[in-house]
Amino acid sequence: MSSHHHAPHATADQPRPSTTVDASEIAKFTAMAEAWWDPTGDFKPLHRFNPIRIAYIRDVAAAHFDRDAAGESPFAGLSLLEVGCGGGLLTEPMRRLGAEVTGIDPAPRNIGVARTHAEQAGLKITYLPCAAEDLIATGNRYDIVLAMEVVEHVADVGAFIQDCAQLVKPGGLLFLATLNRTAKAFALAIVGAEYVLRWLPRGTHDWRKFVKPSELAQALRRAGMTVDQMTGVTFNPLTERWSLTRDLDVNYMLAAKPA
């Protein structure tokens, strides 16, 4: 008669959280991962925001690398890394623009969602469940590094920017998109989007973590980068469309290059 011995419940050795990743943030996004690709679900605002950020990255990078933005594959031959790729909403269009794409995210479930979707779409994209700092040791560097809507969720902005900067090839570009820490951003991004319109699950954003353009520029300078281009992005609730503006008060995007 065989008796099954059950080992006492030991807590599994959790990998130590990396320094710029906030564990509660990861748990929150992991819980939402399934909904990533539903354009009418929780990530509806991100799906709406996608066309404007794709166009911005395409146009700024095409000018920088002397490519035809309207061409078939303007990013052909360029390597691109997206830090905090989520379910792959941005990595897939970047692959379609011709880049060799790698997407990283510390939440394994997001990576699972992204991999599955890319396979279904027949797109060759490398997805790794890790943080920016984990890639530095590999020696891999990229022509274009994207960290879109990530800065407002990391534990240490300065360290995160330093990590991203180290992943950019000489002559490359780093793109960032985030939310300004203003009363207007608080009203629109938090009260508006999370509570009134119920676009985003409550608690998605922590206003104290929003970053002013001047703070981001300073962090970039410390990391050996200079801001090349910055634009505001505003949402028109009537047309439900985003457009590029000079207004940096709420959402803004920038491109930086090694100094």
What tens digit of pLDDT does each residue of 43-86 get? Answer: 787 788 899 999 999 999 999 999 999 999 999 999 999 999 99
How would you list the strands of the sheet with 100-104, edge to edge? Answer: 126-128, 100-104, 79-83, 142-148, 168-179, 251-258, 225-236, 241-245
38 vs 72: CA distance, rounded Å: 27
Among the ranges given (57-71, 79-93, 106-120, 131-145), the one the predictor scored with the smallest mean pLDDT: 106-120
- Here the tokens at position 176 are 């960032």
- CA-wise closest residue to 42 among 235, 251, 194: 194
Percent of the chain surpassing pLDDT 90: 53
167: domain CATH number? 3.40.50.150
The H or E element spanning position 128 is: strand 126-128
201 belongs to a structural domain: no
The H or E element spanning position 111 is: helix 108-121
95 vs 146: CA distance, rounded Å: 13
7 has a pLDDT exceeding 70: no
- Here the tokens at position 222 are 């410390």
156 belongs to a structural domain: yes
- Here the tokens at position 139 are 């020696």
46 belongs to a structural domain: yes
108 belongs to a structural domain: yes
* Position with higher pLDDT, 4 vs 247: 247
Domain that holds residue 238: 23-180+206-258
48 belongs to a structural domain: yes
How many domains is the chain built from? 1
6 belongs to a structural domain: no
Residue 256 burial (C-beta neighbours within 10 Å; 0-12, 13-18, 19+):
buried
Token pair 């954003």 in the structure block, residue = 205
196 belongs to a structural domain: no
190 belongs to a structural domain: no
Instruction: Supply the pLDDT for residue 226.
Output: 96
